[in-house]
Amino acid sequence: MPGARAKAKPVFRRILLKLSGEAFLHRETGASLNPAIFTDMARQLKVVRALGIEIAIVVGGGNIYRGLSGEEFGIDRTTGDSMGMLATVINSLALQSALEHEGVHTRVMSAISMPAVCEPFIRRRAVRHLEKGRVVIFGAGTGNPFFTTDTAAALRASEIEADALLKATKVDGIYTADPKRDATARRYERLTYAEALERRLRVMDAAAFSLCMENDIPIVVFDFFRKNEILRVVRGERAGTRVHH
């Protein structure tokens, strides 16, 4: 029937979306923040929210600073990771601004206390925000060094009892090799957590895969920049790669 596809109901009630900081880069100018990218993301998320899906987000900070890169300049890993966590808060605030410009009520919650700019992360409060229809953005990773934002995403997804962790990337799923470098790379449609760990697939770190496996949270890796791809994911259509039991 015409329009039946558009009216398909979502298969998830609550999702945790993991966004890479590198996605915010301005490819042409090299600027850390690309306003057009934030606007596009906000508009896509507005459509998803309109379906009644509760949305939580974890953002990376690689467009501004990576903790590991600081070691080249004599910055110790702990300090570097703290700097990286602050970078994720900058991205979180920028995304919040874009969402609210689109009329989407949003809260930023940080694992590092900075009450002048955002709320501290409190699990019950985060869940209450989601229940009220607000998009919740979790900044500052886990608040601890040596943990990636992928692990932070898996942790927050577990804490808020998300139905799925959606990992937004620049490719349409998980491949046997980097498809941009290897023309023979094959895309997986489905994987088990154990297979992802055994094959050491680098789309997420082992700690993130393990957390999701322990808490039975499916992972969907998809191309956020493909038109309407996130809608296909939340409707349960064939899109990206799904990792589950």
Helix (H, G, I), strand (E, B) or coil at 100: helix
Q: How far apart are CA 191 and CA 80, in angstroms?
A: 34
- Nearest Cα to 140, choosing from 160, 110, 118? 110
* C-alpha distance from residue 31 to each of 28, 110, 147, 181 (Å): 8, 24, 26, 25
Answer whether 129's CB lies under 8 Å from 107's CB.
yes
For the four alpha carbons of 172, 88, 100 and 127, in that order, the dihedral sign comes to positive
Tens digit of each residue's pLDDT, the chain (245 residues):
444 444 678 999 999 999 999 889 988 888 999 999 999 999 999 999 999 999 999 999 999 987 667 777 789 999 999 999 999 999 999 999 999 999 999 999 999 999 999 999 999 999 999 999 999 999 999 999 999 999 999 999 999 999 999 999 888 999 988 888 888 899 999 999 999 999 888 789 999 999 999 999 999 999 998 989 999 999 999 899 999 98
* Cβ-proximal residues to 161 (8 Å cutoff; 6+ apart), any chain: 14, 127
Q: For position 67, what pLDDT does the model report? A: 67
Write the CATH number of the domain with boundaries 14-244.
3.40.1160.10
Q: Which residue has the tokens 């900070």?
A: 61
* C-alpha distance from residue 83 to each of 11, 48, 142, 216 (Å): 37, 32, 13, 32
pTM above 0.85, yes or no: yes
Domain boundaries, the chain: 14-244
- Nearest Cα to 156, choosing from 88, 48, 57? 57
